[in-house]
Chains A and B, each alone.
Chain A
Amino acid sequence: RKEVEQDPGPFNVPEGATVAFNCTYSNSASQSFFWYRQDCRKEPKLLMSVYSSGNEDGRFTAQLNRASQYISLLIRDSKLSDSATYLCVVTGIGDYKLSFGAGTTVTVRA
């Protein structure tokens, strides 16, 4: 079983729509959780950390469910510039290794 699994999509949504997707992780001892964004043929960039209480950053909302071992990301009022691959990332004990999912592709159309 993979450490982090994501729905690959693609999610194809119109501008202004809301899109949401999840990822699941296998190690119950995972300590930290993140969403990274990766544009085509570019490096991953940190979008936001994910906290147990849930957190928002503008149009982006992240949730963590430790009991069910899943993380979600919701994007409201989608913009064309939100088109990217979103990578779910968890770390284990010691926090030195990032475990990435394969990514969820989102395409926002005009």
Chain B
Amino acid sequence: DAGVTQSPTHLIKTRGQQVTLRCSPISGHKSVSWYQQVLGQGPQFIFQYYEKEERGRGNFPDRFSARQFPNYSSELNVNALLLGDSALYLCASSPESRAYTFGSGTRLTVV
């Protein structure tokens, strides 16, 4: 079975640009969560979606937005990129909650 897949794997953007990251959950998983991991720190919660509805949002500015599609895949959008947005962005899926499986992430570099 395919795990959680994320695309792209690496990305370089310029300050002020916008970026869209994509995630496909494990088949049958209805919940998708997004996390940001800055070098040397643990992942920080950004969003969770369940059955296409936002269930929770972390302490991130409105420049960050997300959505979940009918097939349960998800996109994370970040507008007006800052240097501090450079990080590993992780997507996790689960059947409902707990037992989260993470994708290998998208490494975003903002220059």
Contact = CB atoms under 8 A, between A and B. Distances in A.
Contact of A44 (B44, B90, B99): B90
Contacts of A87: 42-43
Chain A interface residue number, banded: 20 to 34
B48 interface: yes
Given A32-B98, A91-B98, A102-B40, A97 B45 contact: yes
Contacts of A94: 55-56, 97
A96 B58 CA distance: 11
A98 interface: yes
B43 A96 contact: no
A42 B98 contact: no
A98 B55 CA distance: 13
Interface string B17-59: 0000000000000010101000011111100101000011010
A44 to B, nearest CB: 5
Contacts of B31: 96
Given A46-B101, A96-B56, A100-B44, 13 more contacts: A4-B42, A42-B104, A43-B105, A87-B42, A95-B97, A96-B48, A96-B97, A98-B92, A100-B42, A101-B42, A102-B41, A102-B42, A103-B42
Interface of B: 31, 33, 35, 40-45, 48, 50, 55-56, 58, 88, 90, 92, 97-105
Interface of A: 4, 32, 41-46, 87, 91, 94-103
